[in-house]
DNA sequence: AAGTGGTCTAGACCACTAT
DNA sequence: TAGTGGTCTAGACCACTTT
């Protein structure tokens, strides 16, 4: 297995040549053939060794660099990167999965009412205090268990159809994993920690004072105007974020 | 600005043609020229319009797809993706920055002693209960303020030099942002919430019961054997994770 | 049949690094 | 000067979707 001189690209395979070579090189790094700090064979050597064109090798090296496995240094070579904690990235896959299938999760609309923006809400939404906003509270269940509490302040503007769409229960699902939010340009998200309040604990079938995640979001339209500000609350013992670094 | 028929690729620029075209297309999506759900011009049209080769356009579309801005559908076209919450990714940039400059942060070794692995530690490190491990506690300061508390259990194996290296105070910095950990193949990380214990609160100059982040890590060597298991504790009011989705 | 994205080639030229 | 990564070309062929 360490002697890999017989490994070649299978031109008959449905797996493209570049993908095969990516797999081969990652395998060799994982097997310790190339150690952190080591220089990979030059691109010309890889062309020769595996019988592919320079462009294909270039693409392969780009992919490895994008994945953080190697770094390229112009004029010197391509080197295997040592493990770095700072390269870890966490995603919302766990939450996204919650919204994937309609059977798995249900969304219950707790409250929706028109209010006057407080000073804090107005500042977040870049409007004047006292302007009308819509306040929405939702509870998202996984099966029978309440998983997420969602609070949201949406700018109330009858000329913008997004307000009506946002109040729809299904809008949340679309926003999370495709389809909805087609009038939104960008969003800012932050993850914080907090303690469950009495109200939150009751709704989430948990205890007051339990540590929880708070996922805050602001969405902007194509005029870069804030459209909604809100946050999800989830008991800490029902959610964790995971990431893997290095070679899988 | 909406009429962009005069925008061209500058072949004299130091910015590569593909990067210029990426910038141009992102700008047009941001400006609303192409809306979520819209089809981009075909790759052949983009070649014609900007005077670049098919491979260059292909590369550009790949980059946009990697960034999650568009999806490609074979035989149909390339489409602008609507905003999706689930695409958000959070990184440890904030923590990594802590370890960037030696002046900004200092690491204080609180404790390091050889112990017998408890049942829990042994299970995490895939060893037998009672086997020798090294327990390390560190405190990481930002300026004068204690920011992070680090606890770690490392397998004690004199034949492996990594144990000695791990005990070094500087090892932490290297692990976070390059250089160190060259004998580690991969790592698994999880982010959880917790409450500060009395001991943690005292060390972090905070209050007992305050919500906090807990960043757990396990590192594996090239034989896929666990090498160390540990976690960072950070008071919740001193750390947040941020992410941006959509067009910046 | 026409149009679309996806892969790949066999070179070219350039900027940079090491010797 | 030789070797390295980085960009780019002008085609080719393929699989797929739509008309």
Is the CB of A211 less than 7 A from some atom of nucleic acid strand C?
Answer: no
What's the confidence (pLDDT) of residue A128?
Answer: 97
Q: Label the pairing between strands A226-235 and A241-246.
A: unpaired
pLDDT of residue B203: 98
pLDDT (average), residues A66-82:
97
Which residue out of A14, A35, A85 would a mutagenesis test of the B interface target, given it has the greatest number of B Cβ atoms within 10 Å? A85
Question: Band of the pLDDT at B3, cuts 50, 70, 90?
Answer: very low
Residues of B in contact with A187 (CB under 8 A): 83, 85, 88, 244-246
Angstrom CA distances, B81 to A33, A220, B244, stand at 40, 15, 15
Residues ≥6 apart with Cβ < 8 Å to A242: A90, A94, B188, B189, B190, B191
Going from the C-alpha of A1 to that of each of A17, A38, A159, the distances in angstroms are 21, 19, 66
Is the pLDDT reported for residue B17 higher than 50?
yes
Return the DSSP state at B128: -
* Shortest CA gap A168–chain B (Å): 17
Q: Which residue has the higher pLDDT, A67 or A161?
A: A67
User: CB of B50 within 8 A of CB of B21?
Assistant: yes
Please tell me which residue of chain A has the smallest CA distance to B95.
A86
Would the CB atoms of A217 and B85 count as touching at under 8 Å? Answer: yes
C-alpha neighbours within 13 Å on the C-beta side of residue A209: 5
Assigned token pair, B159 = 């034949």
pLDDT computed for residue A102 by the predictor: 66
Report chain A residues whose CB lies below 8 A from the CB of B187: 83, 85, 88, 244-246
Calculate how close chain B gets to A31, using CA atoms only, in Å. Answer: 7
Do residues B66 and A66 touch, judged by C-beta distance below 8 A?
yes
Which tokens is B55 given?
């491979």
CA B234, chain centre distance (Å)? 17
Q: Distance between CA atoms of A147 and A235, rounded to whole angstroms?
A: 8
Q: How confident is the model at residue A203 (pLDDT cuts 50, 70, 90)?
A: very high
Yes or no, beta carbons of B82 and A179 under 8 Å apart: yes
A184-195 and A77-80 strand pairing: unpaired
Q: Determine which helix (DSSP H) or strand (DSSP E) holds A232, and give its type and residue range.
A: strand A226-235
User: Nearest CB to B190: which of A36, A240, A247?
Assistant: A240
Among chain A residues 40-79, those with CB within 7 Å of any atom of strand D:
40, 42-45, 54-55, 58, 61-62, 72-78
The hierarchical CATH code for the domain B4-82 is 1.10.10.10
pTM of the model: 0.92
Taking the C1' atom of D6, which residue's CA lies nearest? A74
Mean pLDDT of B42-52: 97
For residues A233 and B192, what is the distance between their CA atoms, to the nearest angstrom? 14
Q: Helices A54-66 and A43-50: crossing angle, nearest 10°?
A: 120
Cα B166 to its chain centre, rounded Å, is 21
Residue nearest to nucleotide D12 (CA to C1'): B54
Closest CA-bearing residue to C1' of C9: A53
Between residues A171 and A108, which one has the greater pLDDT?
A108
Q: Is B202 helix (H, G, I), strand (E, B) or coil?
A: helix
Residues of A in contact with B213 (CB under 8 A): 193
Beta carbons of B71 and B65 less than 8 angstroms apart: yes
Judged against a pLDDT cut of 60, whether residue A1 lies above it is answered with no
* Radius of gyration from C-alpha coordinates of chain A: 25
B227 or A201, higher pLDDT:
A201
A41-55, A122-136, B37-51, B168-182: lowest mean pLDDT where? B168-182
pLDDT surpasses 60 at A247: yes
| In A85-210, beta strands by DSSP E | 89-91, 105-116, 132-142, 145-155, 184-195
Find, in chain B, the residue whose alpha carbon is nearest to that of A192: B240
Nucleotide nearest to B79 (CA to C1'): C5
CATH number for the domain whose boundaries are A93-238: 3.40.1410.10
Q: Name which of A79-93, A172-186, A200-214, B165-179 the model is least confident about.
A: B165-179
- Partner residue facing A90 (CB), from B89, B222, B247: B89
> Over chain B, what is the mean pLDDT?
89
Nucleotide nearest to A18 (CA to C1'): C7
Distance A19 CA to D15 C1' (A): 17
Q: What is the largest CA-CA distance in chain B?
A: 73
Q: Is the CB of A11 under 7 A from strand D?
A: no
Can you give the pLDDT at residue A172? Answer: 67
pLDDT, average across residues B69-86: 95
Burial of A78: CB neighbours in 10 Å, binned 0-12, 13-18, 19+: buried
Boundaries of every domain in chain B: 4-82, 93-238
Q: Give the mean model confidence (pLDDT) for residues A122-151.
A: 94
What pLDDT was estimated at residue A57? 98
Indicate yes or no: CB of B188 within 8 angstroms of CB of A244. yes
Residue B166 pLDDT > 70, yes or no?
no
> What mean pLDDT is predicted for residues B188-215?
97
**Mean pLDDT, range B145-174, rounded to an integer:** 72
- CA A80 to C1' D1, whole Å: 28
Q: Which of A91-105, B35-49, B228-242 has the lowest mean pLDDT?
A: A91-105
Are residues A86 and B66, on separate chains, in Cβ contact within 8 Å? no
Q: What pLDDT does A3 receive?
A: 47
Question: Which 58-97 positions of B have CB less than 7 A from strand D?
Answer: 73-76
Task: Strand D: list positions under 7 Å from protein Cβ.
Answer: 3-12, 15-18
Q: Is the pLDDT of residue B161 over 60?
A: no
């Amino acid at each position: 297995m360490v002697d890999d001189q017989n490994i070649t690209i299978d031109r008959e395979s449905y797996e493209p040549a570049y993908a095969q070579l990516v797999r081969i090189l990652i395998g060799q790094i994982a097997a310790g053939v190339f150690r952190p700090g080591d220089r990979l064979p030059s691109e010309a050597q890889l062309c020769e060794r595996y019988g592919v064109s320079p462009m294909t090798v270039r693409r392969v090296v780009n992919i490895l660099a994008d994945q953080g496995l190697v770094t390229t240094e112009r004029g010197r070579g391509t080197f295997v990167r040592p493990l770095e904690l700072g390269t870890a990235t966490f995603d919302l896959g766990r939450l996204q999965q919650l919204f994937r299938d309609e059977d798995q999760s249900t969304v219950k609309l707790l409250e929706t009412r028109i209010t006057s923006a407080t000073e804090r809400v107005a500042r977040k939404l870049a409007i004047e205090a006292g302007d009308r906003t819509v306040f929405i509270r939702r509870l998202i269940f996984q099966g029978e268990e309440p998983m997420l509490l969602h609070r949201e302040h949406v700018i109330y503007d009858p000329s913008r159809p997004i307000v009506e769409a946002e109040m729809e229960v299904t809008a949340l699902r679309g926003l999370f994993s495709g389809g909805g939010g087609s009038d939104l340009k960008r969003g800012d998200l932050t993850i914080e920690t907090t303690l469950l309040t009495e109200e939150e604990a009751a709704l989430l079938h948990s205890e007051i004072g339990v540590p929880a995640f708070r996922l805050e979001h602001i969405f902007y339209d194509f005029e870069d105007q804030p459209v909604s500000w809100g946050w999800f609350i989830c008991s800490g013992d029902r959610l964790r974020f995971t990431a893997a670094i290095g070679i899988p």
